[in-house]
Amino acid sequence: MMSAEAVLGLIEFWLPIAIVAGSAIAAAVHALLTRETPSSAFGWIGMSLLFPPLGPLLYYMFGVNRVRIRARRLDRASRHGLGAHRTGADAELCDYRAFIGHRRLGLAAAGDRLSAWPVVAGNRVDVLNNGDKAYPPMVEAIEAATEFVYLTTYIFETNRVGQRFIAALSRAADRGVDVRVLIDGVGEWYAWPGKRPVGELEAAGVTVARFLPPRLWPPALRLNLRNHRKILVTDGGIAFTGGMNIGDRHFVSANSGVADMHFRLAGPIVRQIEAVFLSDWAFATGQQSAISARELPALGHAACRTIENGPTHDIERLSTLLVTAVSSAYERILIVTPYFLPGPALVGALQAAALRGVEVSIVLPESNNLPPVAWAARHDLGELVTRGVNVYFQPRPFAHTKLFIIDHDYALIGSPNIDPRSLRLNFELAVELFHVETVSTLAAYVVSTIGRSQPYTREDFAARSLPTRLRDSFFWLFSPYL
């Protein structure tokens, strides 16, 4: 028999080896089962097995999608979470032939399987450009409310515009209206210290909550999992959504401010947007509320559907919908976005559309408030322009507008950008529009913007200096996290 000292010596020798080897094998098996592409799986498997213990450590830090794991854990812990509305490939399809053209029935069917909400007809959609057009009707809707006001925003500045909203919300609360405001826990920090919106709203008697705020203890930085939705909905049967936060920055002059587009919706679609807010509110506060029972009459001719997107879902709804929509285009695709970091599937779909003769135009801001994102985006533009995709850079002021238009009868509006943060890491709200008149108005806006924008050609891409190419390529490496 071996002595106790010999056994202890064997343990001291083999235990570290077993731990290092076990961690390498565990990391390699996890990468094999979870990575999305063979190249990614091979890379992490090789790193884990060839360079233990550093390889497994790096894989744990950068290779594991802890964002989605954390989001689903939070969703399960909530009594009524953001993933409450689910669907799948076996979902029952609706018959939309009464109000959607036959060319779009396939796209509508895809939406039935990506969103639990059906397309609803009878909606009115008004386009509101910049703060001077969007904020007055939003404040008017708050002032006219008699039962409830629900507001979600990523950024709520407490400058001149913010104070107008705070005053209107306070007056509504004073007259007995159920006023609830949900502000993203990271977006709140865009306001100056001492002027944060949550404190000012609470002081004004408004019920307010933070969405997943960072905290020191227990530690939770949570830079991802942000609520990027913009929602205002009232009992008046009106909802507002789009890309615009609340703040003076959205009053635009010739070269300053942030240009953006918001939308006022009325009709049956408002109930879907109300339900999204209440789901978010229950997730953030634990307080569940029923959707208002009032039936909303038809007020227009637009067919609409909400699309919720976020990391609690098993499928990347928005990415899949964008690729499906691009594949359905037969005439033109118009994209306006401030941040453009599409995944390989969307890049391939856009290239394929251009090669089959579809006019594909992408409009980006010439000057960006997030330069690293713009530099990373330019790395991929050559892959698109060489396949016939038109790229344009619009001049100042910085444009935060998000539009996705297919042919003459379909558009996707709302809060998402075309980047990994919106498509994979944030909670977003988009609205599908099946309506020739509204889509024509949006397309005319994009065509007008293209007319004053600078084309970006293959020659421009090839003429970049070596330092510029190195810079763009460096930031492109981090594009999944930008």
- Give the residue numbers annotated as catalytic, written as ranges: 228, 230, 235, 400, 402, 407
CB 460, CB 446: distance < 8 Å:
no
Secondary structure letter of residue 220 according to DSSP: B
DSSP per-residue letters across 158-194: -SHHHHHHHHHHHHHHHTT-EEEEEEETTGGGGSPTT
Secondary structure letter of residue 409 according to DSSP: T
The rounded Cα 227 to chain-centroid distance in angstroms is: 8
Distance (Å, whole) CA 263 – CA 343: 27
3-state secondary structure of 480: helix
CB 177, CB 148: distance < 8 Å:
yes
CB 405, CB 443: distance < 8 Å:
yes
Nearest to 227 by CA among 301, 281, 287: 281
Distance (Å, whole) CA 94 – CA 118: 7
CB 364, CB 473: distance < 8 Å:
no
CB 398, CB 368: distance < 8 Å:
yes
Secondary structure letter of residue 298 according to DSSP: P
CB 363, CB 449: distance < 8 Å:
yes
Distance (Å, whole) CA 55 – CA 16: 16
Distance (Å, whole) CA 455 – CA 472: 19
Taking the CA of residue 467 as centre, how many other CA atoms within 13 Å lie in the half-sphere pointing to its CB?
A: 0
Distance (Å, whole) CA 259 – CA 251: 8
Nearest to 312 by CA among 444, 427, 393, 412: 427
